[in-house]
């Protein structure tokens, strides 16, 4: 198999959660460009419609699935729609996430539970459902969890997101543990740990600390619109067939300083 073929996703079906905007939409574009059919999920149908129009204009076959993954009882029906349309899920990109800012000593249970419900619980139970209903029976699949550098380190003083950090740290080790379990089913499980990328979720903190982040990043910039595309295609394709349980940090080198 040639190198171009290793990265080719023609005939594959991908499910990208939180795919209506930001990093999720960028990754959906990348997978579609490489030939995959793409299902994207989000809570708001109008945002999904805008994303679908953008993907369709690029020649991507796209399905939108509106729903709240943090409601675990919504997961089976959302997955039903994807399987009815595409027949299988070859690639699952667990990107949907949320955050809540507050000092640790005053962190509210409401915020903690909201973050854990989407960032961790929904991620695991959707992956479980996709595994049982598609990947394990077919003995093939690629799971790409979007963790964060926040799951690998502490925070700058102005960033008080203890639940987010905790949830992303859990995703890092969930990735390792699930890779160890599902390797026998020929399912690869890996994670991407993005650094700071401009997005709706990160904008508030970047307004305050972006210069500090850029100054301590060896490549001297924040993440850009193209910077996760190669990573997700690698982990979604046969190019990574002997890679599992790994966490790829995409942060301009900030983690090493």
**Residue 136, both tokens:** 């394990």
Catalytic residue among 164, 182, 197, 234: 164
- Concerning whether 107 is annotated as a catalytic residue, the answer is no
**Residue 90, both tokens:** 């070859």
Residues near 20 by beta carbon (within 8 Å), at least 6 away in sequence: 40, 42, 44, 47, 48, 50, 51, 64
Burial label for 130, CB within 10 Å (0-12, 13-18, 19+), is buried
How many of the other CB atoms lie within 10 Å of CB of 128? Answer: 13
Which has the closest alpha carbon to 35: 59, 1, 65, 3? 59
Task: Please name the residue that has the structure tokens 């990208």.
Answer: 16
Enumerate the active-site residues: 164
């Amino acid at each position: 198999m040639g190198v171009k073929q290793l990265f080719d996703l023609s005939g594959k079906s991908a499910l990208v959660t939180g795919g209506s905007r930001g990093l999720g939409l960028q990754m959906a574009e990348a997978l579609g460009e490489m030939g995959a059919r793409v299902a994207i999920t989000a809570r708001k149908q109008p945002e999904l419609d805008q994303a679908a129009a953008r993907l369709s204009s690029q020649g991507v076959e796209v399905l939108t699935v509106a729903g709240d993954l943090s409601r675990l009882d919504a997961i089976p029906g959302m997955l039903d729609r994807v399987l009815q349309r595409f027949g299988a899920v070859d690639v699952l990109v667990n990107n949907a996430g949320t955050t809540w800012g507050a000092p640790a000593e005053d962190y509210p249970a409401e915020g903690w539970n909201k973050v854990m419900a989407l960032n961790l619980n929904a991620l695991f139970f959707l992956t479980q459902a996709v595994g049982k209903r598609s990947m394990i029976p077919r003995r093939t699949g690629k799971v790409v969890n979007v963790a964060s550098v926040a799951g690998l380190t502490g925070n700058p003083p102005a960033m008080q997101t203890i639940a987010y950090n905790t949830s992303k740290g859990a995703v890092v080790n969930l990735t390792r543990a699930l890779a160890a379990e599902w390797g026998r089913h020929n399912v690869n499980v890996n994670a991407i740990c993005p650094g700071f990328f401009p997005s709706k979720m990160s904008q508030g903190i970047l307004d305050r600390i972006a210069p500090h982040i850029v100054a301590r990043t060896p490549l001297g910039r924040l993440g850009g619109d193209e910077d996760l595309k190669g990573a997700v295609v690698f982990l979604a394709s046969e190019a990574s067939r002997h890679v599992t349980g790994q966490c790829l940090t995409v942060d301009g080198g900030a983690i090493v300083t």
